[in-house]
Amino acid sequence: MTRRKLPIGIQTFRRIREDGCYYVDKTPFIRRLLDGGTHYFLSRPRRFGKSLFLDTLKALFEGDEALFEGLAIHRDWDWSVRHPVVRLSFGSGHFTEPDGLRTEVTDQLRTLENDAGVTARHDSTAARFRHLIRTTHARSGQRVVVLVDEYDKPILDALDVPEVARANRDYLRGLYAVIKDSDAHVRFSFLTGVSKFSKVSLFSGLNNLTDLTLDPEYSSICGYTDADLDTVFAPELPGLDRDAIREWYNGYSWLGEERVYNPFDILLLFRNRRFGAWWFETGTPTFLVETLFRRRVSSVCLGEMVGSSALLSTFDVDDIATEALLFQTGYLTICEEQQRGGRISYRLGYPNREVRRSLNESLLGYLVRNPSCQEANSNRLYDLLEANDFDGLRTLFHAFYASIPYEWYTGNDIARYEGYYASVFYSYFAGLGLDITVEDSTSHGRLDMAVRFNGNVYLFELKVVEMAGEGTAMAQLKARGYAEKYRHLGEPIHLVAVEFSRETRNIVAFEVERERVR
């Protein structure tokens, strides 16, 4: 197979097709959408191909037949009919200022009016939007297609300025209500964004939307599947470890049978020919990290959170559930659907190695506030673990806890909780991308953390104690027989008991015993 151009950062369907880039055919989903309804909504994390999908819709409805030759929908489409398309995009703009959103919408409507030859007759943007849709329908004789890209960005960008975020939300509610109000003039509408705001807060005026976010039939409407990599991108695979690609980047689930890759990660991998946190590094989750610390969310718990479908769909300026925030932004994904009676809930976890490693590095960075120091500590941890230098490990972690500024604890009682110490400990190991299992269940209890590395197994029990040297952590490791679960591996097993003091805010005991391989 011939290698093609990689469409890195390209969101224009025409450019991808005319420039001979790789393209994963998503048009079968479009046919299914048209057969099933009119008004749709889709939530996906950033850089998952939402904008490209909307641009594909635009090209299809405008009748650019040549661009679709060879694609699934080409022989199943009436190319003699062309629909006018009204597309709004909030991918750019300054939305933290009180009038920033109004100015952006006004400018976009003016451009759309000029392109359609429509004269504005109203002052309010909602009225102008309505007039544009109805007049365009009347002049063309075909109902209008309405596409809205990144519908929620004006709200998300202003979360640090809540009064502006609320004003933007209310403004958009009135704007989007026009779509329902113009239903007789609309052939099809599709809105995309990162988050799913509740119908009460934003979509109260557009309650006829079909939400595709957790619809199994549309789980891969954006993103790449394993089959896509093995067929469309087959020329790029030689020289790369196929299993490593899955471990690093696969794993996103919206209840479909297949798990999905973030396209941005895959394209950057093929260009650079090495594994890296390509998607994660395009957006530092400062707001997310600060929220997790403010809510005392332990990093140990991030891979085992549970949320209902209603909770995962709950998002508003003044009510952002932690589970919804992590799921909708792509830092957690659905690992398992659980049904108890008539109630359905979802177990959430990290989608892949990239996200687990990178998010934990960001959590550590919030504490260290010194990237050079954090990098040095991580490199030192790897070297010490590779050498099984447990004295060095104790010294390293003692120094790290001691280096956290005293001011961080002022007015912050998170350090009273065992989860805080475990979070710091876990995040250092997770930040290295090691094989880690937390809260590992056995018949005798739940082990705090198991690490497999370099042909060794390390079993950690972490305790906060009142007095130094209580020995409760090691006693629990032995009494509960956690090592039994790992003996079949035939690898050396190290029991590591770590005790912390609330008073000194540091390690007061670090015991290690090696189990004999039987």
**Pairwise CA distance, residues 201 & 207, whole Å:** 11
Long-range Cβ contact pairs of 92-101 (< 8 A, separation 24 or more): 93/153, 93/154, 95/153, 95/154, 95/155, 95/157, 95/158, 95/164, 95/168, 96/157, 96/158, 96/160, 96/161, 96/164, 97/164, 98/164, 98/167, 100/154, 101/154, 101/167, 101/168, 101/171, 101/172
CATH number, residue 511: 3.40.1350
In eight-state DSSP terms, residue 517 is P
For residue 388, give the nearest of 463, 487, 494, 292 by alpha carbon: 494
**Pairwise CA distance, residues 328 & 467, whole Å:** 43
Taking CA atoms, 483 is separated from 386, 472, 494, in Å, by 20, 17, 9
Residue 325 lies in a domain: no
Last residue of a domain, one of 218, 236, 261: 218
491 near 459, Cβ under 8 Å? no
In eight-state DSSP terms, residue 221 is S
Run of H or E residues at 59: helix 50-61
Run of H or E residues at 120: none
Q: What are phi and psi of 278, to 5 degrees?
A: -65, -50
CATH number, residue 108: 3.40.50
Residue 253 lies in a domain: no
Residues 6+ apart with CB under 8 A from 372: none
In eight-state DSSP terms, residue 119 is P
- One-letter-per-residue 3-state SS of 319-360: EECHHHHHHHCCCCEEEEEEEECCEEEEEEECCCHHHHHHHH
Residue 199 lies in a domain: yes
| Amino acid 373: pLDDT | 78
Taking CA atoms, 339 is separated from 324, 351, 441, in Å, by 19, 21, 21
Residue 408 lies in a domain: yes
**Pairwise CA distance, residues 5 & 473, whole Å:** 56
CA angle 469, 472, 477 (to 5 degrees): 125
3-state helix, strand, coil in the chain (%, to 5): 45, 20, 35
Q: Residue 179 sits in which domain range?
A: 25-218
Residue 322 lies in a domain: no
Last residue of a domain, one of 218, 240, 257: 218
| Amino acid 410: pLDDT | 45
Last residue of a domain, one of 198, 218, 238: 218
Q: State in Å, rounded, how far the first CA of the chain is from the last one.
A: 51
Q: Produce one character per residue of 275-309: b if its CB has 16 or more CB atoms within 10 Å, e if not.
A: bebbbbeeeebeebbebbbeeebbbbbbbebebeb
Full pLDDT tens readout for the chain, 518 residues: 789 999 999 999 999 999 999 999 999 999 999 998 999 999 999 999 999 999 999 999 999 999 999 999 999 999 999 999 999 999 988 899 999 999 999 999 999 999 999 999 898 999 999 999 999 999 999 999 999 999 999 999 998 899 999 999 999 999 999 998 999 999 999 999 998 876 556 666 566 789 999 999 999 999 999 999 999 999 999 999 999 999 999 999 999 889 999 999 999 999 999 999 999 998 766 788 888 878 878 788 888 899 888 778 777 887 788 999 899 999 999 999 888 777 889 999 999 999 999 999 888 887 777 777 778 888 999 999 999 999 999 999 888 887 766 555 444 554 455 567 778 888 889 988 888 888 776 666 788 899 999 999 999 998 888 765 566 888 888 888 889 889 999 999 999 999 988 778 788 999 999 986 65
Residue 226 lies in a domain: no
Residue 224 lies in a domain: no
| Residue ranges in 339-417 assigned as alpha helix (H) | 353-368, 371-386, 390-403, 406-409
Residue 490 lies in a domain: yes
Domain count, the chain: 2
Reduced to 3 states, what is the DSSP secondary structure of residue 395? helix
Residue 34: count other Cβ atoms within 10 Å of its Cβ. 17
**Pairwise CA distance, residues 114 & 105, whole Å:** 14
| Amino acid 316: pLDDT | 80
Reduced to 3 states, what is the DSSP secondary structure of residue 86? strand
469 near 509, Cβ under 8 Å? yes
